[in-house]
Amino acid sequence: GCGKQEPASAPAAGTPAAPAPARVLVVGTDAAYTPFESQNDRGEIVGFDIDVVKAVAQKAGFEVKFVNTPWEGIFNSLAQGDRDLLVSAITITDERRQTMDFSQSYFDARQLIAVRNDAPIARFEDIKTLKVGVQNGTTGDEVVGKLLGKSNTAIKRFESTPLALKELEAGGVQAVVADNGVVVHYLANNTAGGFKTVSDTSFPVEKYGIAVKKGNAELLARINQGLEGIRADGTYAKIYASYFGS
């Protein structure tokens, strides 16, 4: 016959449709930022931020998968809907708030200057005579741009923070300005010494937040609920201690 057939998947009348399986939310992260996010030898994305988001997701009842996403373009991937949320040691700034929404803050950071041991650098202003490496488009880039002038050719912009620090080791730049946690970790684990850090009280405290697409209030509420939950039950403190000591 040529009669129309019911599609095989159509539920019989009266049978309640099975609930749609929960979608796995895609988390973008620039995984070249140890100890916050990096890729281990098995290609898994690991780190403090990763553990925090996994715990938040578990608390708030959603599933996540992490996708390595270069910093350049990470905010765009959120705006385009290619990523549902971002965790990437992202500092909450007023400028970024215009194009995305942030969770409550989950970590405090500050810029830190890395130089050779023998560099005559005591405070931020002293780097004015040096070639300075930063990760392009970060808050480190911003503060250095403010001090030296955005288009000053003494500023060398790198795709990742480790690349900037490698160039410090190689002598191509004489200073790097980046988030304290990453600078300290890199110098301790990737160099044989010879470098020091210089802090400066003019650097403001930076608050890391988890970003969602502007207007995604529902997901934001769940993330905040998860963050509150893992703070209240001690999970956050445990994760923090396992990376940074108590």
User: How near is the Cβ of 91 to ligand ARG at its closest, in Å?
Assistant: 4
Q: What residues between 144 and 173 interact with ligand ARG by CB under 6 A?
A: 161
Compute CA distances 223 → 102, 156, 161, whole Å. 10, 36, 27
**Rounded CA Rg of the chain:** 22
Distance CA 47, CA 33 (A): 9
Which one, 161 or 174, has the nearer CB to ligand ARG? 161
Distance CA 65, CA 161 (A): 24
Cβ-based neighbours of 17, under 8 Å, separated by 6 or more: 11
User: How near is the Cβ of 166 to ligand ARG at its closest, in Å?
Assistant: 14
Q: Does 88 interact with ligand ARG (rule: CB under 6 A)?
A: yes
Distance CA 60, CA 55 (A): 9
Q: Does 30 interact with ligand ARG (rule: CB under 6 A)?
A: yes
Distance CA 210, CA 190 (A): 28
Q: Which of 26, 33, 48, 177 binds ligand ARG (CB under 6 A)?
A: 33
Q: Which of 51, 101, 179, 200 binds ligand ARG (CB under 6 A)?
A: 179
Q: Which stretch binds ligand ARG (CB under 6 A): 5-13, 85-93, 115-123, 193-201?
A: 85-93
Q: Which of 53, 78, 89, 100 binds ligand ARG (CB under 6 A)?
A: 89
Q: What residues between 90 and 129 interact with ligand ARG by CB under 6 A?
A: 90-91
Q: Which of 71, 107, 158, 195 binds ligand ARG (CB under 6 A)?
A: 71
Cβ-based neighbours of 126, under 8 Å, separated by 6 or more: 120
Assigned token pair, 155: 């500023």
Residues engaged in binding ligand ARG (CB under 6 A): 30, 33, 37, 71, 88-91, 138-139, 161, 179, 206
